[in-house]
Structure 1
Amino acid sequence: MVHGLATVLTIKDGCLYLSLYVQPKASRDKWLGRHGDELKLAITAPPIDGKANDHVIRLIAKQCKVAKSKVTLIRGQQSRHKHIKVESPTIIPNELSQYLT
């Protein structure tokens, strides 16, 4: 493990696991790099009625080229700190692949 990067982004048993810090109500969707032991993701959706969670799932599914049903919010339904699981990602976006150990 290099400087705790394994906690940010890991692949285990064909699944991609991400630790995210989500910034809702941003002007655009954008990966903002490391934020402590997490990756920071700015999204346009507001943190109301699960809209931010749905937006994060749709965005990650699109970027990893998988169905939304393959993206699971493991932890952080009511928090900016989220743990996401992506089953069998077709691709790992360039914005994320640099954080793989």
Structure 2
Amino acid sequence: MIRETAECVTLAVRAQPGAKKTALSGIYGEGAAAQLKIAVHAPPVEGRANEALTAFLAELFSIARRDVVLIAGETNRSKVFLLRGVSIEGVRAVLGL
């Protein structure tokens, strides 16, 4: 779910678009294939859900939106985001892991 590279952290996310509000929903899957499940208020149309996820993650981890980059899964519910300016320990602390 969370991986650290030399310059950033990557986070595997499972999006649930069309929810009442954007919020953390738990963990999807188990082990190395686990993903952070996020309910997204925006619909999965014209990249709106991806934009909403980017904004939510930036706010959640207190980093700029430009430091949250979607690197995989643009048209899929399973996505991988690159987070710059935050450590793996910081991500785990925010998520309570």
Gaps of 5+ in 1: 1-7
Kindly indicate whether residue 80 of structure 2 is the aligned counterpart of residue 83 of structure 1.
Answer: yes
Q: 1 CA distance for matches of 2:56 and 2:16?
A: 14
> Residue type of the partner of 2:8?
C
Q: How high is the TM-score relative to the length of structure 1?
A: 0.80
- The number of residues matched between the two structures is 91
More helix by share: 2
Two-structure CA RMSD over aligned residues (Å): 1.8
Q: How high is the TM-score relative to the length of structure 2?
A: 0.83
> Once the two structures are superposed, what CA deviation does each residue of 1:6-54 show, in whole Å capped at 9, x if it has no partner?
xx11233241211111000101112111111211110100000000000
Identity of aligned residues (%): 27
What residue in structure 2 maps to residue 22 of structure 1? 15
1:10 equivalent among 3, 16, 22: 3
Moved segments of 4+, more than 6 Å: none
What residue in structure 1 maps to residue 57 of structure 2? 60
Q: 2 CA distance for matches of 1:62 and 1:69?
A: 12
